[in-house]
Every structure is written in C-alpha cells, then in structure tokens.
Amino acid sequence: MTSTAQAAPAAFTTDDYAARMARVVNDAVKAGLAGVIITPGPDLAWLTGYQPHITERLTMLVLSPDREPTLIVPRLERGDAEESAAGPLLSFVDWMDGSDPYEAASTLFRPDAEFGISDAAWALHLLRLRRAMPDVSYRGLSDCLPMLRAVKDAGELARLAAAGAAADAAYRDIIGTRFAGRREIDVAADLAALLRQHGHEQIDFTIVGSGPNGANPHHEAGDRLIQPGDPVVLDFGGLRFGYGSDTTRTVSVGEPGPEVRAVHEIVRQAQEAAVNAVRPGVTCADIDQVARKIIADAGYGDNFIHRTGHGIGVTTHEPPYIVTGEAQPLVPGMCFSVEPGIYFADQFGVRIEDIVTVTEDGVQRLNNTSRVLQTVE
C-alpha cells in the first residue's frame, strides 16, 4: 500500500474570497433580497475561511450591496476573525459579554428589508434578531439561494479531484484485504485507516453493508460477520484539503450468485448512462430520470429508493440534488454524485457511486476505479 499524500494546493487568496462574496451579493440582488446573513458553518468558512466554534454567542456575516462585508463577532474572538483569510476584506462590529449583540446588529439592516439567512442559524439567534428588528423578514438560503456554493472554482475542483483520487486509492487497497469471517466494523476501520493513509484529514463515513445489511443505503457497520457469497456495499468518504470524497462500490465475497451479478450489471448500466448524460443545460431531474428509467425498465423501479445524487464540496451533501422534480440546469463547475442503487429488503443491495464535475462540454469523473463487480476473499 502506498500513500497518495501530496503537497496541499495553494491556499485560497483574499481575491478568491472577495469573488465569492461579490457573487453571493449579486445573486441575492437577483433574488430580490436586501442581502444575506451567514452564521458559523460551511457557508461562513467558504466565504471567509473563518471557522469559529458554534456557540450561543452571536457571530454572523452580513453581505449586502450597500455596504462592505461586515462580521458581527464577540470581542473576545475578534482577533481570530481578523486573522482569518478574508479578514482584510471585512468590517467588524464587535460586542462585549453583557451587552446586546442583536441591538448592535440592528444598525446593519434597513427596515422592511428581506434577508436570506443560513439554514443552520440557531433559532435562538433568529428569534432574537426578529425581536430586535420586527420589520425585517428572513428567508432560508436553501429557498432563496439554493446554489450558493454549487459552482466550484478552479481551486475547489483541484481539491475535489485530490479527495476523489485518495478515495480511489483506499478502495484499491481494501479489496486486497480479507472480508470473509470478519466483522463489518473491522473492515470499516480498515477503510478509515486507508483514507487517512491516503491523505484525508477527516473521515465522515465508512458504510460496510454485507448481505442483508446492504439493503439499507445508510447502514451503520456493525458486528455482523461477513460470509462467503455475500455482496458487500462499500460507501465511504471524508475531507481532504477541506473538500469531500464520496464513492461506492459493491463487491462480492467469492463468486457472486447469478441474481447479484444480474442486478449489479443493471446498476452499472444505469450509472454509466446517467454519467454520460451529464452536460451543461441538462437538468438535475433529467439525470435522475436516465438512471431511474433503466432500473424501472428492468423491473426494479420500486427497489430504487433514493435520489440519484447530491452535490459535494466543503460538505458531503449539498446542492445540487439529482432528484425527480429538480429543474435546476447543470452549470460547468457543479460537482455531484451519481449513485443509483437497487435494494431487496432482508436480502442484499447494490450501489455504484462516482463524483462527477460538469465541464464546458460534458462531464469528468472524479472517481476512476473499476465499476465491474469485484470479487474479494
């Protein structure tokens, strides 16, 4: 086993963060908003590089077209915020323990204005903002700016490609280990160790669903002993250089039975067709339908029980969502999973997943391990 560790990509610059904030302000204006409120979490990290602890103390970034980006921050944390990557771009409004931060924040809002606000904002903060500014209204960002982080820049794409390559390397290594007679949690631990060996700084999930457990798409690896003849769903990922990996392959412990082999081939064809359909202008729902039709035509439509994919970036699940009814057109720079599956309760499941990115004229896979049904010991 060899490590895929490599030098970190160049750090994001103040120009990168300035471009992101300007894009969000522009999108907010197009959506009819006076601005957006970003609370601690992935959106704040993406926009500024600042990742404070999420606590009851109010911290929030206010972006609007009529003022420079302003961060409301507890005074005891202002120094850390000023030293963040986007610190030179920000104005600061700080507040002391014992004072009212919501009153301090009120100077940044126009009466009767509507702002987008992070979905993950604490109800505590939103309710107190409303009490301090009853004439201001709020909309969740998933409703008004759902594609906030969906289109990746070159630096983000490089990080996602590195994460995908590391996950591929972990898969190539894990299929060389023994499965039969071992517990799912032991194989999952091996997967986590391999992801770290190949450069991941954070492990988010290592699904090992053997035999009947493979019929649960989000199965938590447990004490079940993996048996000869079991199909095993391996779905794993985490963060490398701050960006996500997520890939799934289904393997067979020894020679697969004819039903497993046939179902795996249907899923493989559905996944291949859906990936090949990705190009700018096609909608998310169109990609979902390509995969779903192949599975339905084979007689297993009711056994495909989840969407075809989800976006990925600084979080593992984010827009765009590749699902029925989602009319969002694909745009170059969008990255998402393509992961159809077929599941038989109490029997077995099969899923194949790659991360792809939309290019100017088509698609590029960020996972490149074989999608044929691999046998393991």
pLDDT at 7: 76
Would residue 222 count as lying in a domain? yes
Would residue 7 count as lying in a domain? no
pLDDT at 161: 97
- 352 and 221 share a domain? yes
- 19 and 120 share a domain? yes
Last residue of a domain, one of 144, 165, 196: 144
- Residue 85 exposed, middle or buried by CB count within 10 Å (0-12, 13-18, 19+): middle
Strand partners, 318: 311
Q: Describe the chain by its helix, strand, coil percentages, rounded to 5.
A: 35, 25, 40
pLDDT at 287: 98
- 197 and 300 share a domain? yes
- 221 and 267 share a domain? yes
Would residue 319 count as lying in a domain? yes
For position 183, which CATH number holds?
A: 3.90.230.10
Per the structure, the count of domains in the chain is 2
Last residue of a domain, one of 144, 163, 194: 144
Structural domain span for residue 124: 14-144
- Angle at the Cα of 243 (from 80 to 45), degrees rounded to 5? 30
- 274 and 167 share a domain? yes
- 138 and 70 share a domain? yes
Last residue of a domain, one of 92, 110, 144: 144
313-360 residue pLDDT tens: 999 999 999 999 999 999 999 999 999 999 999 999 999 999 999 999
Would residue 4 count as lying in a domain? no
DSSP 21-35: HHHHHHHHHHTT-SE
225-265 residue pLDDT tens: 999 999 999 999 999 999 999 999 999 999 999 999 999 99
Would residue 216 count as lying in a domain? yes
Which residue in this structure is represented by tokens 């970190």?
Answer: 8
pLDDT at 192: 98
pLDDT at 4: 56
- 325 and 234 share a domain? yes
Would residue 255 count as lying in a domain? yes
Low-confidence ranges of the chain (pLDDT < 70): 1-6
